[in-house]
Structure 1
């Protein structure tokens, strides 16, 4: 499958690491090297499987995490070598970068909120107010939430389907899946569970469906919602107002 898609939700490896830290409820000042590395590589591998454009900085961070994990698994010789005592724990540098990134990201969010508040000072048609997002509404779903949901869905499908020889069907294009998914969502009377949009067990069709959803999100044709951390994702027709 040659179709590739790149969307603005990819903000870089530090953004992915912060997502994992929040999702796994990890202390940013005491990052478990092995766990965070395994989870990070799982997401990067999923990006490759889906043929998403993965910037080189993701791979550089992957190499850094692997080195950090390898070091954490080595025997502790700190009592034998004075130089080892003076060597900085690579997690400290990563923590500093994450804290700095988090600080600037939070500042950007606050500036965006101020901008949105300022726009409310100008007159607008009353109808717009009815569609304004509520502060207590569903969580914003990121590309990483989508990747995580795709991981869980494909793992369950592999466990449910017996290993047997099958005849490979004709490959379905992303454009074709976009039309089918959009039609399904428009005909649905309520939000559709993310996993219910993946009826096939064929890898190519699963990938095409996922890329189709991403492209529909990019075109503001659909909205993906989540009511809380670790909750299921739901998809509805219509973009964000």
Structure 2
């Protein structure tokens, strides 16, 4: 299969992924279950590798950090008289403290950036000039967020679950050789299918074949269509079905 490498701006870094997992599973940030969060984090990394996405080195560094913290939490605690006072203080320190501090600091900056972005958007609509007749200008619609009420990690998680379900099903023994599908061709097929469905299709129904190659190409095609703002994804609530919508200007 041809190698496809895609880098998306929506992946903001390992701390963003950790914060997403904490929010998704409603985990107390001050009492992180390291074993569970490490397992979920590594699953996302594995899924990114399955999709042949470029994984920045900081994701792998964070994976190593989580494994190291997990190892420290599993170490047995010794009696107090076996170490001097300084070593006892080090043993009493929670190995998660530094990670929690970084996450809290990152969350503060993330919330602040969201607040500033919102106010910058509102401020951009304010003009310090006398009123003018602008009827002759064509109203331009603001760009639609391709990912509504969800993050790119939700989409990767949905693909991960779908991929696991497809693998567990017994595939037919008959092998049919077919030509590999280029991403641009699969993108056109998805757009055509959305137009046929009046602009809406469920994420799961975009993957009719259990073939790994076809699933990966389809998922990468979805990401590229989002990146070029030809489609957008919506999810009403956590764990609900994700729906794919064709942008209005693309609906014939």
Matched, 1:175 2:184: yes
Find the counterpart in structure 2 of residue 160 from structure 1.
Answer: 169
Q: What is the aligned partner in structure 2 of residue 106 from structure 1?
A: 111
User: For 1:90, what is the secondary structure of its paired residue?
Assistant: coil
Contact 2:38 2:66 in 1 (8 A): yes
- Aligned ranges for residues 43-192 of structure 1 at < 5 Å? 43-77=44-78, 79=80, 80-82=82-84, 83-87=87-91, 88-122=93-127, 139-162=148-171, 164=173, 166-189=175-198, 191-192=200-201
Query: 74-83 or 29-38, which moves further after superposition?
Result: 74-83
* Coordinate RMSD, CA, aligned: 2.6
Runs of 4+ in structure 1 deviating by more than 6 angstroms, as ranges, are 123-126
Trace 1:36-47 onto structure 2 (pairs within 5 A).
36-47=37-48
Contact 2:5/2:53 (8 A) holds in 1: yes
Q: For residue 231 of structure 2, what is the aligned residue in structure 1? A: 222
| Structure 1: unaligned runs, 5 residues or longer | none
Deviates more, 1:66-75 or 1:89-98: 66-75
Distance 1:190 1:174 in 2: 20
TM-score scaled to structure 1, two decimals?
A: 0.88
Q: Deviations over 1:186-230 (max 9, x none)?
A: 221252110100111110110000000000000000000111122
Conserved in 1, the CA contact under 8 Å of 2:199 and 2:246? no
The CA distance in 2 between the partners of 1:188 and 1:119, in whole Å, is 37
Q: 1:6 — aligned with what?
A: 7
Structure 2: any 5+ residue segments left out of the alignment? none
**Deviation, structure 1 residue 2:** 1.1
CA offset at residue 158 of structure 1? 1.6
Deviates more, 1:34-43 or 1:231-240: 231-240
Cα 1:49/1:78, change in 2 over 3 Å: farther
Measured in 2, the distance between the counterparts of 1:73 and 1:166 equals 47
1:21 aligns with 2:22: yes
The structural deviation recorded for 1:156 is: 1.3
Q: Please report how far the alpha carbon of residue 127 of structure 1 lies from its aligned counterpart in structure 2 after TM superposition.
A: 5.7
Q: How many pairs does the alignment contain?
A: 236
CA distance in 1, matches of 2:59, 2:175: 35
Measured against aligned partners, the alpha-carbon deviations of 1:140-178 in whole angstroms (never above 9, x if no partner) come to 332101100001111111222348573453221111111
